[in-house]
Structure 1
């Protein structure tokens, strides 16, 4: 896990619980977990980059991407392999530096091209059995935060990041990754 520098997330079923509420006109409502969002902010502070790779096109997701300052955003990709490869190439990384988190069959195509494939608890049976890591939390209910906390802990920077955000003294600069 020390090699991970880029985290790419699916949206529906990972950042959300997979529900979509339609209102009048083009109104689409999704709920996002604020602890997931803050986990992303902590990981960005630790130097990790983030991307979204989703099959749907959604103004709601575009807003969340902007709020959380994602580095990469690819939407409308039912077949995700080419978009994934484009992100990895643009980031100038190797597969071992990339973590992908997805919950459904369409995400499995990404597994051979990343170093670590993570699934939330609510993922489909085949996805969970193929994953390198299955979170205890479900998508939209802290799964992304659980994954980020585990990754930052493995990289030796979780406590330092938590201390930074609670205002502990002496942590005005970015953390050094113990992984090198």
Structure 2
């Protein structure tokens, strides 16, 4: 177990232990937040491979994973398809309402959700979720509202930190580590 996970407060671990759904903002959380456009006007995004494996490990351990983003982007749909993420909500002006609808559809209470974000539109769903996480480079108001803040920036492995925290809190990190020996 990593030292940074061993020294976490008991209340944070209790919140993470209850999580059954982990919802992520995309731009600035799963990416570094920069928008890249080619000469032809096509948008490109860069995702970190560590985050992808973390999301797959959450799913393998019975967790629901969702992307909830205000923008609409073909690269997001491609990444979600590659990772077999069933819950992908693009063009969401009200991320809080989207999260609440997803929780209702899954039959989960808000305390069973984690929401990971970086900027002001992420505050409403963070206030609903039982575990609110801000990435390291989040806007200060988002960081203040979070129960926990990652050490790594969005798009640079922050989502993997969240995945590792949840697996650790739920007693599944040891089995995950053994799986890779």
TM-score by length of 1: 0.89
Say whether residues 1:2 and 2:17 are aligned partners: yes
**Mean Cα displacement is larger for which, 131-140 or 23-32?**
23-32
| Structure 1 segments (4+ residues) deviating >4 Å | none
Residue 111 of structure 1, CA deviation: 2.2
Q: CA-atom RMSD, angstroms? A: 1.1
Residue 102 of structure 1, CA deviation: 0.6
The 5 Å alignment of 1:19-38 reads: 19-38=34-53
Say whether residues 1:51 and 2:71 are aligned partners: no
SS in structure 1 opposite 2:122? helix
Structure 1: tracts of 5 or more residues without a match: 169-180
SS in structure 1 opposite 2:143? helix
Pick from 126, 139, 145: which aligns with 1:124? 139
Conserved? CA contact 1:97–1:115, under 8 Å = yes
Residue 86 of structure 1, CA deviation: 1.2
Residue 63 of structure 1, CA deviation: 0.3
Say whether residues 1:81 and 2:84 are aligned partners: no
SS in structure 2 opposite 1:109? helix
Residue 78 of structure 1, CA deviation: 2.1
The 5 Å alignment of 1:133-172 reads: 133-164=148-179, 166=180
Whole-angstrom distance in 2 between the partners of 1:91 and 1:55: 21
Whole-angstrom distance in 2 between the partners of 1:145 and 1:111: 18
Q: Which residue of 2 aligns with 1:104?
A: 119
Say whether residues 1:60 and 2:75 are aligned partners: yes
Whole-angstrom distance in 2 between the partners of 1:112 and 1:128: 12
Pick from 106, 114, 121: which aligns with 2:129? 114
Higher helix share: 2
Counting matched residue pairs gives 166
